[in-house]
Every structure is written in C-alpha cells, then in structure tokens.
Amino acid sequence: MDSMEIDDALYSRQRYVLGDSAMVRMARSSVFLSGMGGLGVEVAKNIVLAGIKSLTVHDTKTATVSDLGTQFFLRDDDVKEGRNRAEASVGRLAELNPYVTVKASSAPLGEDTDLSFLKEYQCVVLTEASLKLQLKVDTFCRSQDPPIKFVSGDVYGVFCCCFCDFGDEFEVCDATGEEPKEVFMAKVTKASPGVVTCLENRMHGFETGDIVTFKEVVGMDALNGTSHKINVISPYAFSICDTTAEKYQPYKHGGIARQVKVPTLINFESLEKQLTSPNLLTVDFAKMHAPSTIHLGMWALHKFQEEYSRLPKPGNSEDAAKLVELAQSLNSKMHEKVDNVDSRLLTWLSYTAQGCFAPLTAAMGGILAQEVLKALTGKFTPLKQWLYMDSVEVCQELESKLESLQPKGDRNDALRMCIGEDLLKKLASLKLFMVGCGAIGCEMLKNYALMGVASAADGMITITDNDLIEKSNLNRQFLFRPHHIRQPKSTTAAASALEINPDLHVNPHQHKVCPDTEEKLYNDTFFESQDLCVNALDNVEARRYMDSRCVSNQRALLESGTMGPKGHVQTIVPHLTESYGSQRDPVDHDVPYCTLKSFPAVIEHTIQWARDKFESMYSQKPSLYNKFWSTNGSPAEILQTLKGGAQLDGAVQSVKLLKNRPYRWADCVALARVKFEKYFNHKAKQLLYTFPLDTAMKDGTLFWQSPKRPPKPVDFNQEDDLHILFVLSCSRLLAGLCNIPVTDEDLTKAALLELLPTIKVPEFRPKSKTIETDESAKKPEQEEFSGDEVERSVHILEQLLQERDLNSNTLQMVPAVFEKDDDSNGHIDFITACSNLRARMYSIEEADRLKTKRIAGRIVPAIATTTAAVAGLVSIELVKVVLGSPLEHYRNCFLNLALPVMVFSEPAPPEKSVIREGLSVTLWDKWDVHGNKDFTLKQFLAYFKEKHGFEATMVVYGVKMVYVPIMPGHKKRLPQTMVKLIKPGAEKKYVDLTVSFEGEDGEDIPGPPVRYFFHL
C-alpha cells in the first residue's frame, strides 16, 4: 500500500496529523490485543479507526451483565448466550473500517503458553492480564529481532495505568509532529560562533540543539544548503558555527533558516526492571506523590490476586488493610523507596478495584491507543514508560456509605462499585444539553450510555447538530457507519447510543444554537430546565455563544476541543470557576493586503490568494452580477439610466462580466488560458516594470530583498501538468458558473491540447499604475471606477444589445459554494494549481494537494485517540459536577499525546469586581428587580439606591438607551412606566438590562446584569 492508495475521503483529517508515511506503516502493521473489557475495546476501536493492517482481539472470558457498563460493543444477547467477549465484539469492530482485518481468538494465554505465535505481530497489547503474564510477554517481545513493541494497561475502579516498552533502541522519526519552523533572517555575524538574528524581531521558536538548514542567503552564500546545530541566545537570535573562515563572506541580505527533523533513538527498559525503578509521568502537580503510590498499589493488587485468587471486595476495610500492607512490603523492593505512601489512596484503590469507571477507560483507551500507533509508526514521542491517573475525587461522599458500593447484578455494577448508588441515581435522572454530535459528541454519547446518564424516567439528554454525516466523519465519529452517510448526525448518534444502552432517554434536534434560535427554541426557560450543558463544538464563535448562555442562566458547562494530538478540557461551574469567555485566545494576525496581492513570501500566502481568487471569481462577482441584473431592470432600461448620468452600484463589473461571459466550452478554455497569462505572466512583468530588480529604497537597501521575492514570469507550457490542471479546473468552474454542458471527453488533456493553439493570448503592455507597498494598508472595501470606465461600460452595453440576445439565462450565473470535501467538483484542484503556479512565480516551495486542502479549507486536523481521551476526561468532570464537588476537586486539562504531555490544573475562580467596599460581584452575579405594570423608571432607579446604595447613571436595553441623564429629555422619562419605556413583547415576562452606577470618584461603574421582571 502506498500513499496513492490511502482513502483520502476516509482518512483526510488523520493524514494531516500522521502524514502519509506513518499511514503506510500502519497499513502494513498487525497488532495483538488481549483483554476485551472496557479498556480493551476502547483501544481496539481507536486503532481500527486509525487504519492498521490487522487486529487480533483475544479474550478467554464470557460476557457478563456488568460488562455492559464498560464494553460498548457487547449487547444483552451476548450476556444471555454466554458469548466470548472477543468473539462477540469482532463483528462490530470490523464495521468501523473496511480496510482493517479484525480477527478474534479465545485460545488460552497463560504463563505456560508458547508465545511463538506473537512473532507475526509488530505490537502486543495486554489488558486485564496478570503481572506474571505481562512479565513473560514483555521478555519474549524484547528477545525478538526486531523487538516486538509491548504495551500494557489496566483500569481498576477509579485508577488506571499504562506501560510501554519499545525495546533497547527505538527510532522516533518525528518527535512532535509539528511543521518544521521557518524564519526569515535579518543578519548573520562573522564571529565564533556566528549569530543569526531574525527579521523584524520575529521569534524563531527554535530550541537549543535543534538542527537548522539555510537557503537564499545573499553574501554569506556558503551557508546555503548546510545544516547546523544551534544554540538559542534569545527568542530572536541563535548562534551557529564559526563564521570567521574565509569561505563565509560578509552577509548582505536575505536568507531563511528552516528546522530539520532529525530521527532520534530512545532506549526503553524491561517491565521487570521498571517495576522497581519506574520512570513515571506526572500529570497532576497537585498530586505529586500519587503516581508512585498507585504504582505500589497496582503491584500490590497483582500480589493480592495471586494470594487470594480475587480482587479486594468493594468497600471492605479488611481487604483494604491487606492491600496497604502488601504495598508497604513491596516498597522495600524499590530502588528508591516511596517516602510518602498514601494509605488513603491505596484504600480507595482497594475499595473500587472490582469496579471499572467508564470515563477512565475512555481516557486511558485514547492514550494507550496513541502509544500503539507510535510503536507502529515512529511518529511522535512515546511514553517513557509509566502513566498513572486517578479520579478518586468522585468517591468523596462514600466514606460513610461504603455499603452503597455493593454490586446488584445489573449493567451498572462496574460504575456502582466506583461511585456508589446515590450518585448513580443522580446520573440516571440528569437533564443534560449537548451541542454538537461530531467526533467529541459521539464519544460523549457513548460515555453517557455506559454511565447510565438519563436512563431514569425523569432523565433526558437533549442533543443538537444541524450537520449531515460525510464519509470523512467515519474515521473518528465512531457511532456512524457507511450506510449513515447523508443522514442527520443527531438522530443517527442518538439511535446508535440507544443500541449501547436501550434505557437511555435522548431527544435529538437538528438546530444551531445561536441568536436565531434563542427566542423560540433555546430560550432561558430551556436552559433553566437543564442540569448542565456540554460543548462538543469545533469553532470558537459557537463556544463563546454557549458560554454566554450558560453564564446568563447560571448553568454548568463542560467545554473541550481537539486539534490533532492536542486537546483541552475546561470545567465551568457557576460561582466557582471562571467561564470560557474569561480568557481570550491569541489574536490571529492578518496577512497584510499588499503581501497577499503582490509580495507573497511563504506558501500560506499563495494558498490564501488562490482561495480569495476562487471566492472572487466564482462566488462574489457572480452573486453581484445576478443581483445587478435582477434588481435594476432590463439591459435596455439600465443603458438609459446610465446614459442619463445616474450611478448604479456594480454596473462596471456586471457589464464587464457580461461581455466576457463564455457561451461554449471552447470559450471557457480560452478565458482560462487568458487568465493564466494575466495571473502568472503579466502580473510578474508589471511588478518588475514598476519595481526593477535594482530598485533601491530611500536608505539605499534593495527593494527586492527578504522577505520580498522578485517574481519570474511563468511561460505557459502545455507539457507541464500544473499548467494544464489550472486551465482545466478553471474552465470547469467557468462552465458550471455559466451553465455550460461539459462532457468527459472535453475534460481530457488531448481535447484541451486541440483547443489551446487556437486561443489568442494578449501581449503584455505595461501600465502606469500604483502598486500598494504599505503593509498597514487595508484592502479597499469596493472598487472605485472612473467616469471613463462607466462611459466605456455604456458603449459595451450598447454593442451587446445590438449583437446578442440578452435573455434571462444570459443575465444569471450559478455562483459556486466552496466545498473542500467533494473531490469531484474541481474546487481544490483550482486552488492547488493556482497557489502552486503563484509559488513557482515567486520561487516559493510548492505544497501538495493535501496541505493545500487543509489550509484553504481551514481544516482542523483530527484523530480518534485524542477525541476519545478528551471525551473521557470531560465525563470525569461531569460526574464531579453532578456530585457538587468543591473547586479544588475539579480539573482543567491540556494534553498533547504527541509528546506526550498532560497537564491537569485546578480551574481559576471567577474574577471579582469591587463595586464598593463590602460589595463585589463576579461574572456569575445577576441582580433581579421585580416590578408591576405601574412600576416607573424613578422607582426602578430608587431600588438600587435603597438596596445597594448606588445612583444609577445609565440604563440600557439591548442597543436602546432607556435612561442616560445627560441625554436631552431623558430626565422627563422618570415618571414613565418601565412597560412604556421598554415596550416588551406580549410573551416577555422579563428583560435583561445593563445598568451603570456612579462610583466614589465620580466614574461610571458597570454593574452585573439586571433582570427586570414585569409581573404583568
């Protein structure tokens, strides 16, 4: 399998994360996975979605009723008929990806098993395996040449772990997965070592030890094409080699320094050695000692099982004492003893060990699956070597209710033995609103089903998503299958979740949550009826809107998102934490207009230019054309209007489009060929005419120096595939725009080559026009046309009326709507050809179609592993919200599975604004004022004076100024009723007002939102 065979429609988002070479390596790899409980099925699901060659799932256990609370591919019938868990799951796993072979095995696997069968696999994963078996398999895997990669993991109650051993020498080809950094240079000194300074004090982002290569350096040409290990001096400068040698001539100008990805070797130690000398990843600095304690505790759990042939009983204090004692004894075997063995933590490990907390299986399943993919591809930095996590905070109310941990023989037992009966019932009665049913939404619904959220008669999960399912969704939105394509996401996801847990109550909607639906659908009453809200969104604007609605209605919100291997989780709780809107994302700096138009420096500039050209040519101008001819009368009437001297917006452009409009396929090809000449030949010649290569600035420096690149005219060559791609894709889009039929034969290169020689291409004639060079200049809102141009349009329209039948078809076009995911429409073909031809013109490195599609389509890279991990972590916080946890128990999280890095932190409390001494408010505060039909503005203002001791200085309703004392006539409003001033609609019971108050220094102080109730 090579990169051409990778199904782009299925794997497009993942390819942006892993790249083609890693995808190919995965597609040649086989994995053996033992243990098909909650964790095992999560790992299996994620690596099947990723696209490995084959997966063998192994298990010797039969399905039990408690498995239904963690293993989402088991059903009631599997339990009733006593099916093996692997054999029961294999069919549903295989449905996830047609390119992956999934097999089941139920053969015995123990300490006496001959492991030679494992030689056919590149990675072995063990879950729910004894420590003795793990040690034996790890030893076997290390003995092979090359070593088989070994990964193990487990979830015991509210604790989980992961271990990796990839052998003595494991090559990592790309440690971060980030695009290589590239910076423009301003200066290189002749020194030992030479110091490189970045252009315009732009930060380079390099680290000491990075390897960089140079190109386009003028003067110190010897640097070009060479690579150097650097030492970072500052964010704007770094040193390289000794540049005092004669071959390094003095630097003049230009140059680009580019980071080089260098493979690195990582050595792993065996499981046997790591047991007593564990290398632990700390993820929560508020629990610095927890990983070492849990390491001892899980080692002790295996010893407990060996001695008693069972796990500790739920809530049993005697078993807990035995486990603590075992852990203390094992501490003596550690090379470095654990100083602070937390007996309380070990006690909860014992109490919940027979349970399995489904959110943890989701989180650890995503993490562990990512380590498997690293093992197969060498992409990203592997975990070295242990990761432990816990969510013991969900047990906070169980100290005096240990009996509630006892199993009852139903599907909720695994969760019951972790959080107790009371919290289980609260989850079942939950009313939850989730916005978005895509990747995170699917994972969350699966988690809700396993946790029994809204499974009681009074519970309800309301979900909404206005999107339909596309093929590219199937790679990470695992509730969807090929036969669901073009069906609504929300209804399909709801139906799939009910297959996991038929007791679920789900109400699927297909609406956007936005101001348009605020009044009738998602109003205050709706939000107030929810216990909490969950974001499963993919854009900042929607997140901010949901955040504002939750703050306004004082509802908890769980916010999360992913980008490739990165993810975040934010817990937002009324009056306890800040909100999503409390922090601002870094501002994206727009590329200067003159850079995009005339002076691109990097491929992103040419892609943006091509995308803008697409919108202008095929959407904006045609839409203006349609509007102009449909609103201004017939062409004859328009001609008379223009002759009369009247101005008509869009006249010059619309008449020009009408004149050049193609009527046949040959016309489309001719116009496309002319546009090629204009964009990639004449444009370059005009720039060089205006600014010759030797043009100097006022300070004597050359105009054409880095980052400005002098263009080179591109001469059309019909043997060049890129030139042909531009003409073909441009012609296709023009034909679609003008409703011109096109045959398959028309689109062949042979047919195109017959037409090209017949096309007359205009010669270049230089123009005396101003070319914008000011980087602060903005793009003109609309083109301005001179009187001569309007006059010319009148003449053209007169001619066209004489020569052509200007009927309704001629005066209408079919504007294109950019669609990145339909490869048959030619949109990405046009942008790729357009961008790369412009890049060629400016000597910029060209981009392949995949990269062009990602940038032009503003595609967010995505991979199933990150999504699963993030959704699991959100679900843990959901349980804490339902529990009513204190602030110190909640956790926000940032993770980057590529590194791997996970950072848990306590959410920040809401910022307090002091209005006066003794009175402060936060974003969660809201003042209610209750009036009646006779309640006047004067009484409204008096309320604040009496209640809070403030003089109100302004009252605003939306954009309407209700009362501003300095405004003429406003003081006369004081005796008027609030009803008359605000004029509420018949349905309105209250309005939200903005009120400001006079502070002690005379300055206006904004108060919290004021909700005024009419009580009509």
Indicate which residues carry an active-site annotation: 594
The CA angle 338-343-348, to the nearest 5 degrees, is 125
- Tokens 């503005």 label which residue? 937
Q: How far apart are CA 463 and CA 465, in angstroms?
A: 7
Based on its alpha-carbon atoms, the radius of gyration of the chain, rounded to whole angstroms, reads 33
Residue type, 216: E
Q: How far apart are CA 128 and CA 356, in angstroms?
A: 12
Q: Give all strands (DSSP E) within 208-319, no chain letters.
A: 211-218, 227-229, 231-234, 237-239, 253-260, 264-266, 280-281
Q: How far apart are CA 919 and CA 950, in angstroms?
A: 11
Burial status of residue 751 (CB atoms within 10 A of its CB: 0-12, 13-18, 19 or more):
middle
The CA angle 794-797-801, to the nearest 5 degrees, is 140
Listed in sequence order, the residues at least 6 apart from 819 whose beta carbon sits closer than 8 Å to its beta carbon are 825, 827
Collapsed DSSP state (helix, strand, coil) of residue 808:
coil
Q: How far apart are CA 381 and CA 376, in angstroms?
A: 12
Q: How far apart are CA 255 and CA 235, in angstroms?
A: 18
- Tokens 């700096």 label which residue? 589
Q: How far apart are CA 207 and CA 229, in angstroms?
A: 10
In contact, 330 and 323? CB cutoff 8 Å? no
Q: Give the CA distances from residue 912 to residues 582, 920, 925, in Å, rounded to whole numbers and listed in that order.
A: 12, 6, 10
Listed in sequence order, the residues at least 6 apart from 225 whose beta carbon sits closer than 8 Å to its beta carbon are 213, 214, 215
In contact, 770 and 687? CB cutoff 8 Å? no
- Tokens encoding 750: 């042979």
Residue type, 443: E
User: What is the SS3 assignment for 37-72?
Assistant: CHHHHHHHHHHHHHCCCEEEEECCCECCHHHHHCCC
End-to-end Cα separation, the chain, in angstroms: 72
In contact, 352 and 159? CB cutoff 8 Å? yes
- Tokens encoding 869: 């991990």
Of 868, 865, 90, 877, nearest to 442 by C-alpha is 868
